[in-house]
Structure 1
Amino acid sequence: MAREGEIQHYAGVRASQGTDGKARLLAAVFAQKERLFLFSPVLLGVGISLYFSLRTEPPSWLCLSAPLLLAALLFGLWPRRLQNGVFYMLALMAISGFLLSAGVAVAKARTMLVSAPILEKPMGPVDVVGRIAALETLEAGEGVRLLLRDLAVEDIAPADTPHTIRIKVRRMPLEGLRPGDRISVLAELNPPSAPVAPGAYDFQRMAYFRQMGAFGFSYREPVVIGRAAAGASLWLESLRQHIIGRIARVIPLREAGIANALMTGERTAIAAADMDDMRNSGLVHIISISGLHISMIAGVIFFTLRLAMACFPTFAVYHPIKKYAAIGALLFTVLYTGLVGATVPTVRSVIMTGLVLLAVMLDRIPVSLRVVAIAALIILATVPEAVVGPSFQMSFAAVMGLVAFYEATRDQWVAVYRRCGWFRRGLIYLAGICVTTVIASIATAPFSIYHFQQFANYGLLANLLAVPLTSFVIMPAMLLGYLLMPLGWEAPALWAMGQGISGMIGISHFVANLPHAVSMPYAWPLSALLCFSAGWIFLCLLQGWGRLLSVVPVIAGIITVLIASPPDLLISASGKLMAVKDPEGKVYMSTVKAEKFVAESWMRVLGRGGEIPEILLSHPAAACDEWACRLTLKDKKISFAFHSAAHGEECRWADIVLADDPVRVRPCMAKTTIDRFDVWKNGVHAIWLNEETIQSVGERRGHRPWTISNSR
């Protein structure tokens, strides 16, 4: 340490004299020395992201040998890192390279570990026999979703049978079904769907890492051919269904869907209108189990246990009751996490809460960015695919910003709080909600816009009204309901919880229906998201003047957003749906009846979410007949050909021909032709007219273990 101090002092002196550029760099690094560990999950995440950005699968030997070689290099450099600044910088570079390569290796290992058969083509109706691993009740009248494992599927060999499939069952009644039952059902099965646009959410990748090889629906009610077997996971799923049944007896149907989400993690029964209001008002985080819920539960259990033990003075004097309470709170939060499901935000929250409670047991400072970094490292090492999903990105962006802010201002908050009475402390609580909401909104806004093309403008108002209701009514009543349920006395607590949920639904509906409550910009390019992410990371993790580095990527991100634009033309993977966006922003589609989910997704991508597209025939500049539609846009002649008989004439007239049939005219004089074969091979195509750029889902993703296309 003395030698390290000498290097730091030397670098600082030379830098202050302005005589040594290398010394200035070394001094800048030493100024962030205490923060370097915080960048370890960042580098690991970058390595994982690099793996998922590849268009071809890298060889296993390369992925696994690179971190070993860099670890050997680091082993040789580490003892010499204090000899001079050069070795110190080389050691840092070796650590960085190791973490980057380790990220690639972890992602590759995970991909190999979860590999399972995936259905490549639709099939059905077929007989499916499987065991119910999970049962999800859908919105009223929509039936249930069954997660089936241990499968036998008609016309599929055992080696090619998916590990898990999900089937929607609409036929009622289904009261006889229980987790663990073995059932037979006649079903239509489909492979996981590809992204609806280049760069859009990759549902196939998500399904691959969850080992879900097919999705479908049943033609008739399932038949139980074997009753539930014993098992911890099945017992837990049965417990969830039991709790859902208890909730249904007390809480009205509308509020019961949200109560199910909070008490069991099952969100499928929430009414679609209520879910939309929660998103548009900025309250959807309340029904997504995360830090808010875990910290509340841990806090209530901690203080309740500590108060109960303090009621016995002799015991309290001779025992560390604070540490005992921390142990009890930790056990309860782990049980709660198991009950509601181990999603990324939930796991992050329980890891951080566990580390905080461990710090209480060890008499350490409980909350710091190191706790956030450790939680991120654990999740990235075990579930590396989470890094490319919105849950991980938004959860850690928000908590990193919050911890960084309160870590920097903790003393000021504590000093003000101690000098205030009860009324002013209440005001401080409300101020804390406002500050927390603003920071979390800023942190998550780029991710919300990139992934969902949506931002709640009045999130501050909604959270200011709803968070106190959640903190003082809903969550305490939920916790009391858990404790009383084994005795059968849970009804009063669940009733109170239902009243609180009803109030929260009212708040979300009020805020969501205010004028301009939600903004729906077009889908930002990935480069913009990366710039804003880098800026937020630098701002939160660096200290002192180093935080000014965050300005550079943020400015780059703003410039990227300003110069980027959504595509002008889109054609679906079936070739049956085509869309055009005119310079005024209106979207016209070839049909409003086919592929409605794709059409709705395209409207969000094009920045017109929530609107109904116009029919292409109604475009004022379109000349249409039964065979084709012609349109001139941005000095480009575009033809939407609906019949093969029109291909010859359209090829002679147009610069761009979009056809839902194979174009067999040779040669086709159009500069760009996208026909049935092109979309069959590469999926959805997007065209930017000014840049004369074409992107397709297939070319953007490449060939990876989770990609399914007709050219595979």
Structure 2
Amino acid sequence: MSSLALRAEHFLNDAGADRWPWLAVGVGGGIGLWFTLANGWLWLGLSAFGIGLAALAWLLPAVSHGHLRGALAGMGLAVAAGCGLIWAKSALVGTPAIVQPMAPVITARVMDRYAQPADHRLRLELAFAEPGSGCPILARLSMPDSADRPGLTEGAVVRLRARLMPPAAPDLPGGYDAARSAWFDGVAATGTVIGPVTVVTPAPGDSWLARARHALADHVRSRLSGPAGGIAAAFASGDRGGIPVADEQAMRDSGLTHLLSVSGLHVSAVIAGVYVLAIRLLALFPWLALRVRLPLLASGCGGAAGIFYTLLTGAQVPTVRSVLGALLVMIGLALGRQPFTVRLLAVGSICTMLLWPEAVIGPSFQMSFGSVLALVVLHDCAPVRAFLAPREEGWWLRMLRHLAMILLSGMVIDLALMPIALFHFHRAGIYGSMANLVAIPLTTFVSMPAIALGLALDLVGMGGPAWWVCGESLDLLLAIARWTAQRPASVTMMPAMDGGRFLLFVSGMLWLALWHGRGRLWGLLLALAAIVSLAWLHPPDVLITGDGKNIGITGVQGRALLILREGKGGRMGESMLEAAGLTGTVTPLTTWPGARCSEGFCALDLDRGGRRWRLLIARGKGEPKPAELAQACAQSDIVVAPDKLYGPCHPRLLKADRSLLLRSGGLSLDLEHRRVTTVEQSAGDHPWWRAPHHAPREVPEP
């Protein structure tokens, strides 16, 4: 042990790494482990382990093991602090969901209003007393925009009938957990508005920022029609409701979807533009320039502009996170320090985790800080610094070097973010670096300045030319997105990745980024091990949703997916294809020749792992005779039913009826390895996971 401790001490001494980034990793690791571990005893054990590790570090001699002592103590306390932080946040702000679906008439106050003109929908966030208990709750409801009424704005009191549902758990393992997000957002119900809305009391008056945001979005869409207007409104006000779904999909598949969310790029462009403009204008006044540090004043102007832009666009978490980082950069510039460092990024991430610890496990946090970390580390490498060093050369050579650096930066960011995209979305674009090579300069230097110029010139009625330039640039952006998304093999699909493989990827990238010297290359081995492990990923054979009403079967005679039934618009089929990491067509099970379907059941045989599996799937129609059901179950390996199967039904392997699915949630089955993955395994005893006795009922019709 003494020899091992000395080796670790020598490694830490030679690596020369900063402690702040690793403290941020420790806090984030504690938060992530809290979400991963199943119950309170394990959370207590994690906290005790971190504190115990810190206590153990003090037993080491300070003279000969100073670096190791500090590393163990710091990481132990950081992990314990991260676990305690998210646990406390969950206990303080978490909001339990309503127990049962309902369709009451409610009187509520409008807390937020979000227009989605591309989908002809309107989303409302309402506060009201829960029927029955009288407890105040918050609900998110959608309604057709044709049902909009004058006075239906933030602060108004309205009366309506709503179909309320508890926020949904993931339909399938690895899916998006709306219940978890709602728990931390304070939302107890989701649903739709039924019938007309009556404005009982008009709003006393929106805040000027809310009025400005809505007016700005409407004005931009009035100047630019179609998808370009929707994107321009998103840039100016954060309102993405005017962007068609097909164009959002094209932006995502081409690796450009980050441009649609007001975050780092947009905040940086606004702050940098104001900073440069302010320092140039202030330099025109010699008296001021000789007496005051202009970078300090310009940084203040840029920071104020960033804060105003964040408030104007709704102060969403990604925007607030971005402006916090940008303000730290402004402070560094004002103090004459190097602002673009890993330490500064670590401070920004710690500030974010103190405010929104739940963001750590989300793709937005991981992609934002992952991309910036990749850029900072890339530009800190000695070969890159030598490549970008000033030298005597023509302007065209300097431009070529910068263009090459933009392309290299895009490739590095794509490689760093691809595991994150595959883990969360099961898909990733592979041409993103090339698309961003054009799209980012186009957005930063043409589209956004044109929007700002158009808004300014509209004050005197002369904004037409600027809006024309903006529309043409955004049409070009959409053309790039569509063309890139339509290239062969433009999107990599992959089945849901487990947390172990993702941890290998993240550990490898952090090790490579945060250490110095040759020791950092060990991170490549971790990342390579994660890449090799992906070869063993394959689509699950059977997917079963948590309500038992949708069953998907993969790999049947060239079909991408057989599905028992589909939701509206094929949404469930698309979700199952995404969860399985497949592209192709969805075929209804009842039309496939290999399925034997009656009014109440469908039966089919699957050849997997060297044997034949027989599936019996209930269609939810009619009541089978007990003797027939018992015989059919006895001849089947797996039985799936949306309702509880009463009577004798004993399949050879699994009976996934309502009584099981209420406890487990959605299932994915790997028949070859006889492995069952459930939603419950990832939810554990976290408070947003529904209790087994909270059995959802059908919503009563009004």
TM-score by length of 2: 0.90
Offset at residue 118 of structure 1 (A)? 1.6
Residue type matched to 1:652 in 2?
A
CA contact (8 A) 2:151 2:202 kept: no
Q: Distance in 2 between matches of 1:388 and 1:230?
A: 37
The residue that corresponds to 1:664 in the other structure is: 646
**Can you list the C-alpha shifts for 1:48-85, whole angstroms capped at 9, x where unaligned?**
011111222459988888877877x49x949x863332
Matched, 1:440 2:413: yes
* Aligned position for 2:117: 139
For 1:116, which of 95, 103, 113 is the aligned residue?
95
Residues 560-569 or 656-665, more deviating: 656-665
Structural mapping, 1:228-239, within 5 Å: 228-229=203-204, 234-239=207-212
Q: CA deviation at 1:438?
A: 0.6
Which residue of 2 is the match for residue 156 of structure 1? 132
Alpha-carbon separation, structure 1, partners of 2:564 and 2:51: 55
1:577 Cα offset (Å)? 1.4
Change (3 A) 1:25 1:388: same
C-alpha contact (below 8 Å) 2:641/2:656 kept by paired residues: yes
- Secondary structure of the corresponding residue to residue 117 of structure 2: coil
1:97 aligns with 2:76: yes
2:682 pairs with 700, 709, 712, which one? 700
Match 1:280 to one of 236, 246, 253? 253
2:189 pairs with one of 214, 222, 240: 214
- The amino acid that maps onto 1:152 is A
Q: Is 1:543 paired with 2:525?
A: no
Name the residue aligned to 2:498. Answer: 525
1:589 aligns with 2:563: yes
Partner of 1:200: 175
Q: Distance in 1 between matches of 2:38 and 2:197?
A: 41
Against the structure 1 CA distance between its residues 39 and 414, is the aligned structure 2 distance closer, same or farther, given a 3 Å change threshold?
Answer: same
Post-superposition CA distance 1:491-539 (Å, at most 9, x none): 6544433332222112212222223322222222222111111111111
Separation in 1 of the partners of 2:166 and 2:513? 41
Amino acid of the residue matched to residue 104 of structure 1?
C
In structure 1, the residue corresponding to 2:141 is in which secondary structure? strand
Q: How far apart are the structure 1 equivalents of 2:579 and 2:634?
A: 32
Q: Which runs of structure 2 are paired with 1:63-102 in the superposition (5 Å)?
A: 73=55, 77=58, 82-85=62-65, 88-102=67-81
State whether structure 2 residue 89 is matched by structure 1 residue 107.
Answer: no
Counterpart for residue 31 of structure 1: 14
**1:339 shift after superposition:** 1.8
Q: 1:216 to 1:678 in 2, by over 3 A?
A: same
Contact 1:117 1:163 in 2 (8 A): no
Contact 2:119 2:244 (C-alpha < 8 Å) held by counterparts: no
* Matched AA of 2:633: C
SS at match of 1:163: strand
One-letter identity of the residue aligned with 1:263: A
On the 8 A contact 2:17/2:516 being kept in 1, the answer is no
C-alpha contact (below 8 Å) 2:168/2:179 kept by paired residues? yes
Q: Is the 8 A contact 1:623 1:631 kept in 2?
A: no
Residues 442-481 of structure 1 aligned to structure 2 (within 5 Å): 442-481=415-454
CA pair 347-131 structure 1, distance change in 2 beyond 3 A: same
Distance 1:664 1:368, change over 3 A: same
- Rounded to whole Å, the distance in 2 between the matches of 1:40 and 1:331 is 30
Closer, same or farther: CA 641–285 of 1 in aligned 2, 3 Å? closer
Matches within 5 A, 1:33-432: 33-57=16-40, 73=55, 77=58, 82-85=62-65, 88-124=67-103, 126-140=104-118, 142-149=120-127, 151-153=128-130, 155-159=131-135, 161-229=136-204, 234-409=207-382, 411-416=385-390, 418-432=391-405
Which residue type is aligned with residue 588 of structure 1? L
Q: 1:143 to 1:37 in 2, by over 3 A?
A: closer
SS of the aligned residue for 2:17 comes to helix
Rate the CA distance shift 1:655–1:67 in 2: closer, same or farther, 3 A.
closer
Question: Given the superposition, is the C-alpha separation of residues 455 and 430 from structure 1 closer, same or farther in structure 2, using an over 3 Å criterion?
Answer: same
2:215, 2:61 → 1: CA distance?
A: 59
Q: Unmatched 5+ residue regions in structure 2? A: 695-702
Secondary structure of the residue that 1:631 maps to in structure 2? Answer: strand
Question: Quick one: which amino acid aligns to residue 459 of structure 1?
Answer: G
Residues 441-500 of structure 1: per-residue CA shift (max 9 Å, x gap):
111101111111212122123212222211221121233356567777656544433332
Cα gap change, 1:482/1:338 in structure 2, threshold over 3 Å: closer, same or farther? farther
CA distance 1:184–1:494, shift in 2 (3 Å): farther
Pick closer, same or farther for the CA change 1:129–1:58 going to 2, 3 Å. farther
**Structure 1 residues 700 and 117 mapped into 2: Cα distance closer, same or farther (>3 Å)?**
closer
Mapped to 2, the partners of 1:639 and 1:486 lie a distance apart of 68
Task: Write out per-residue CA displacement over residues 18-58 of structure 1, whole angstroms, 9 at most, x where no aligned residue.
Answer: x9554332110112343232111111111001111122245
Q: Distance in 1 between matches of 2:396 and 2:540?
A: 54
Q: Secondary structure at the match of 1:222?
A: strand
Aligned residue number for residue 679 of structure 1? 661
Distance 2:544 2:499 in 1: 21
SS at match of 1:419: coil
1:291 maps to amino acid: G
Question: Cα offset for 1:259?
Answer: 1.4
**Which deviations, in whole Å up to 9, do the C-alpha atoms of 1:616-648 show, x marking residues without a partner?**
244454344443312132114222232644421
* Cross-structure match for 2:698: none
For residues 160-196 of structure 1, the C-alpha deviation after alignment (integer angstroms, 9 at most, x for no partner) is x423433334434445422222222221111111102
Distance, in Å, in 2 between the alignment partners of 1:181 and 1:134 is 10
SS, match of residue 537 in structure 1: helix
> Partners in 1 of 2:542 and 2:98 — Cα distance?
30
Q: Distance in 2 between matches of 1:427 and 1:486?
A: 39
SS of residue paired to 1:221:
strand
CA distance in 2 between counterparts of 1:526 and 1:698 reads 15
Shift of 1:412: 2.2
* 2:582 paired with 1:600: no
Corresponding residue number in structure 2 for 1:649 = 631
Indicate if the aligned counterparts of 2:410 and 2:434 stay in contact, CA closer than 8 A: no
Tell me how far apart the structure 1 counterparts of residues 303 and 455 of structure 2 sit (CA, whole Å).
16
- Taking the aligned partners of 1:284 and 1:594, their CA distance within structure 2 comes to 25
What 5-or-longer segments of structure 1 have no aligned partner?
1-18
Secondary structure (helix, strand or coil) at the match of 1:219 reads strand
Q: State the 1:246 CA deviation.
A: 1.7
The 1:633–1:623 alpha-carbon spacing in structure 2 relative to 1, beyond 3 Å, is: farther
Instruction: Note the alpha carbon deviations across 1:382-407, whole angstroms, 9 max, x for none.
Output: 11100111111111111111111012
* Higher mean C-alpha displacement, 481-490 vs 556-565: 481-490
Classify 1:624/1:116 alpha carbon distance in 2 versus 1 (closer, same or farther; 3 Å): closer
Is the contact between residue 168 and residue 216 of structure 1 (CA under 8 Å) also seen in structure 2? no
Higher relative contact order at CA 8 Å, sep ≥6: structure 1 or structure 2? 2
Larger mean Cα displacement after TM superposition, 581-590 or 469-478 = 581-590
Q: 1:641 to 1:595 in 2, by over 3 A?
A: farther
Shift of the alpha carbon at 1:692?
A: 0.9
- Decide which moves more: 51-60 or 668-677: 51-60
User: What's the counterpart of residue 562 of structure 1?
Assistant: 535
